[in-house]
């Protein structure tokens, strides 16, 4: 039987999603706790691989078992008891045997939070910027990203992928009381892509780059031409969508 887990986490104490040899990851932590409940070694696969320090308001992962040893409510309760406070399981959902948390996802949405007012209670989850930002220009630039585009210029170097084309559905900034939030939805994301996009748009917002530069940056396919990579603490995976056909 295959199940999806719908959960959230604070990524500050983890070295990213993916299991690593000498560092604590979210994947490893969850696998160990599920294995305790099931009494056998369990592996899980996630919808994506968030970097070190990135958070998730919604992440999806799947795992296989012959049978859950507890009913679904008790399983969620027990798993939340075993997991650190920085990880919270919201739902467990039965899916078809060939459903895949990563490959069946039709879209993923990330949000990046920028604060323009220094706040000691928000700084772990927002990027504090003193510079005045031109959000109108940043939104005009963000609109250029929408559509099927080669995003190699925003990808971390030496990334092993077959292609760099991403179908971006939306990309926009919204002002908040203390700053702004950037929202981007795509069928897929490359490693470090969102953080380098945000850094590039910020450089446009402070007039270090202009909007016309963005066309040249994308066409160049060179990471060195794009803007800096903003810190991980302001980035959240917020939504992962799937076709209804994979659910039981």
Q: Is 51 a catalytic residue?
A: yes
pLDDT at position 45 over 90: yes
The C-alpha atoms of residue 48 and residue 41 are separated, in whole angstroms, by: 22
pLDDT at position 48 over 90: yes
The C-alpha atoms of residue 129 and residue 115 are separated, in whole angstroms, by: 6
The C-alpha atoms of residue 173 and residue 34 are separated, in whole angstroms, by: 38
How confident is the prediction for the chain on average, in pLDDT?
Answer: 95
Q: What is residue 21's predicted lDDT score, i.e. its pLDDT? A: 87
Q: What is residue 122's predicted lDDT score, i.e. its pLDDT? A: 87
CB 112 within 8 A of CB 127: yes
Percent of the chain at pLDDT above 90?
93
pLDDT at position 232 over 90: yes
pLDDT at position 6 over 90: yes
> DSSP code of 212?
H
CB 173 within 8 A of CB 182: yes
Question: Residue 11 — very low, low, confident or very high, per pLDDT cuts 50/70/90?
Answer: very high
List, for residues 172-194, the tens digit of each pLDDT value: 999 999 999 999 999 999 999 99
The C-alpha atoms of residue 100 and residue 109 are separated, in whole angstroms, by: 18
> DSSP code of 158?
T
End-to-end distance of the chain based on CA atoms, in angstroms?
Answer: 11
The C-alpha atoms of residue 163 and residue 151 are separated, in whole angstroms, by: 9
Q: What is residue 96's predicted lDDT score, i.e. its pLDDT? A: 98
Over residues 192-206, mean pLDDT: 97
Question: Residue 157 — very low, low, confident or very high, per pLDDT cuts 50/70/90?
Answer: confident
In this structure, what token pair is assigned to residue 67? 């049978």
Q: What is residue 156's predicted lDDT score, i.e. its pLDDT? A: 87
**One of 6, 51, 85, 119 is an active-site residue; which one?**
51
Over residues 21-33, mean pLDDT: 95
Using a 10 angstrom Cβ sphere, with 0-12 exposed, 13-18 middle and 19 or more buried, the burial of residue 222 is exposed
């Amino acid at each position: 039987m295959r199940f999806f887990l719908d959960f959230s986490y604070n990524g500050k104490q983890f070295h990213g999603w993916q299991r690593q040899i000498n560092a604590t990851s979210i994947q490893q932590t969850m696998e160990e706790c599920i294995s305790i409940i099931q009494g056998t070694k369990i592996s899980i696969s996630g919808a994506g691989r968030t970097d070190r320090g990135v958070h998730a308001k919604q992440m999806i992962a799947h795992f296989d078992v012959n049978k859950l040893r507890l009913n679904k409510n008790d399983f969620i309760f027990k798993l939340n008891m075993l997991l650190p406070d920085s990880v919270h399981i919201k739902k467990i959902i039965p899916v078809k045997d060939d459903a895949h948390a990563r490959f069946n996802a039709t879209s993923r949405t990330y949000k990046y939070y920028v604060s323009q007012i220094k706040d000691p209670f928000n700084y772990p989850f927002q990027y504090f910027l003193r510079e005045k930002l031109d959000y109108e220009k940043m939104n005009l630039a963000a609109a250029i990203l929408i559509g099927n585009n080669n995003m190699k210029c925003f990808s971390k170097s030496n990334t092993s992928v077959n292609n760099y084309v991403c179908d971006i559905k939306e990309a926009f900034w919204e002002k908040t009381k203390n700053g702004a939030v950037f929202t981007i939805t795509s069928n897929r994301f490359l490693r470090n892509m969102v953080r380098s996009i945000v850094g590039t748009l910020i450089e446009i917002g402070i007039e270090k780059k202009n909007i016309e530069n963005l066309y040249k940056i994308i066409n160049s396919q060179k990471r060195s031409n794009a803007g800096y990579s903003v810190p991980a603490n302001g980035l959240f995976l917020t939504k992962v969508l799937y076709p209804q056909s994979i659910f039981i």
